[in-house]
Structure 1
Amino acid sequence: MANDKIYGITNIKSYVPLILDLDRLNYDPWRELFKTHCIGYLVFDHLDGTNLKLADKEWCKVDSIVKQWIYGTISQTLLQTILKNDSTSHEDWTTIENLFRENKEAKVLELDNELRHIVIGDSSIMEYCSRVKAISDLFTNIGAPVPERNLVTYAINGLSPKYDIIATTIHHRTSFPSFTEMRSILTLEEQQMTQNQN
């Protein structure tokens, strides 16, 4: 029986190497990994609720294993939020999905505001660009990727006045640079400034 294979899984993190976390906004990639795993082990019907057999002991045993997989791949905070007595894996799966979907729109607005107002401050170019990229990755995680041109524009807008000349040069290039190209240009400019100071 195909379901016998599920009893051999002792470490779910080998199959789903992401920890789902409300702060990381990594629901979509986690969901894809988890769903793929469950389809491969023929237990996806436990998640989508199409084959509920609450009176069947064997079904309940398998459902408990699927629940353990869920609990083993989510953060402690999230676990405390969704945990309730006698829930099925389908109920837990649905609760998690609703939690992330409800939070999505508010998070998009919050991240958009953060990205539009980001400033370099005392950070190095690499540190600053890493911060910009991290926010961009969060947008991607919730299915609302930032167009690269916008990302470059936001990053340039947050530079300090000492980068004004190079920022103007980047803005007026015939071919608008990618984020990676912009970071390289700014890193070289930063190194040149450091050499000039020394």
Structure 2
Amino acid sequence: MSSPATSSTSISSTSSPPVVLLGANTNNPIQHSLIAINSTQIPIKLSKGGNYAAWRSQFENLLFGYNLMGYLDGTKTCPPAAISCPTRTPENQTPPETVANPDHHLWLRQDRLLLHAIQVTCTGAAQSIVTRSTTSAQAWEKLESSYANRSNTRKLGLLDSLTNVSLADKSVTEYMQGIKNILDNLELIGHSVDDGATVIHTLNGLGPAYLPLASAIRARDTPISFEELYDKLLDHESFLKRDESKRSGPQITAQFNQRTFNRRGRGYQGNSSQSFGSHNSN
């Protein structure tokens, strides 16, 4: 039998102790320690698919850092359940002995940990899609086919949503985040929208209060990026809030002064009437 493989240090704080392997499969190397994905490492939870692009991006980046993406894309296949172990004898005539492959069991355990990570980061409709999956690759493929639909109908629907975006009573952050989600989903199905078209759609959805800013941006000689537009909209939103607070302050003071004057006027008239009555009687 081959010498024990060197165990790697566990990356996740919730992972199990390092697992020492005997007879490791060098043609399809796998992690020698189990890595458990903590749910706090995936802050964005997948629900109805509207945030699938963002959820998938953070999941892929995390697994790439842990060198675990092979479980999901099929490049790190499951090792065989049994391996041949040659028996040493003086005549060397004894047939090889078949023993259980420790790589196989470790692969299954790591794959189930990844499947669990996918399931706990899915909620609602997304969770029902992956509930009956038996491998992480199967759950990944189901979500891909459900939410990364590349049909023309989905593309037209997303483009229509981008055309009809409206700020309405939303904050700038909510408004821009909704546009970003649409752009991410379009990118996911292979249809990217350039910054120029994105800026036009964003400006068209703003209300009359943002008309001066929209006019200034359209009159620019140099194009503006989506990120820069986001910053300018936030600044203009803050300006509108400050202006509204300044306008409401004098109105409240004027109403208070008007009430005070009315009370004093009525009181003065009442006292004058009494004085006039007393004068007449005298």
TM-score of the pair, normalised by structure 1: 0.68
Matched with 2:117 is 69
Matched with 1:7 is 16
Matched with 1:79 is 127
Look up the equivalent residue of 2:110 and give its one-letter code.
Answer: V
Within-5 A mapping of 1:2-151? 2=7, 5=10, 6-7=15-16, 12-21=38-47, 22-25=49-52, 26-39=54-67, 43-49=68-74, 50-53=76-79, 55=81, 56-84=104-132, 87-102=134-149, 106-121=153-168, 123=169, 127-142=170-185, 143=187, 146-151=193-198
How many percent identity over aligned positions? 15
Matched with 2:257 is none
Please identify, of 140-149 and 127-136, the stretch whose mean Cα deviation from structure 2 is larger.
140-149
- Structure having the larger proportion of residues in helix: 1
Residue by residue over 1:68-115, the C-alpha shift from the partner in whole angstroms, topping out at 9 and shown as x without a partner, is: 222222224312112226x22222222223323226865553343223
Q: Highest Rg: 1 or 2?
A: 2
Verify: 1:188 aligned to 2:239, yes or no.
yes
C-alpha displacement of 1:183: 4.3
* Alignment partners' CA distance in 2, 1:105 and 1:34: 31
Contact 1:120–1:160 (8 Å) recurs in 2: yes
Contact 2:167–2:175 (8 Å) recurs in 1: no
Number of residue pairs aligned between Structure 1 and Structure 2: 190
C-alpha displacement of 1:192: 4.5
Distance 1:48 1:190, change over 3 A: closer
* Alignment partners' CA distance in 1, 2:155 and 2:59: 19
Matched with 1:171 is 218
Contact 2:71–2:136 (8 Å) recurs in 1: yes
Look up the equivalent residue of 2:142 and give its one-letter code.
Answer: T
RMSD in angstroms over aligned alpha carbons?
3.6
Match of 2:16, SS state, is helix
Contact 1:16–1:73 (8 Å) recurs in 2: yes
* Alignment partners' CA distance in 2, 1:10 and 1:167: 48
Match of 2:203 among 140, 151, 156: 156
Distance 1:59 1:156, change over 3 A: closer
Look up the equivalent residue of 1:158 and give its one-letter code.
Answer: G
* Alignment partners' CA distance in 1, 2:43 and 2:167: 33
Contact 1:71–1:79 (8 Å) recurs in 2: yes
Please identify, of 76-85 and 53-62, the stretch whose mean Cα deviation from structure 2 is larger.
53-62
Look up the equivalent residue of 2:116 and give its one-letter code.
Answer: Q
* Alignment partners' CA distance in 2, 1:138 and 1:38: 26
* Alignment partners' CA distance in 1, 2:223 and 2:244: 23
TM-score of the pair, normalised by structure 2: 0.52
Match of 1:133, SS state, is helix
Long gaps (5+) in structure 1: none
C-alpha displacement of 1:138: 0.6
C-alpha displacement of 1:175: 4.2
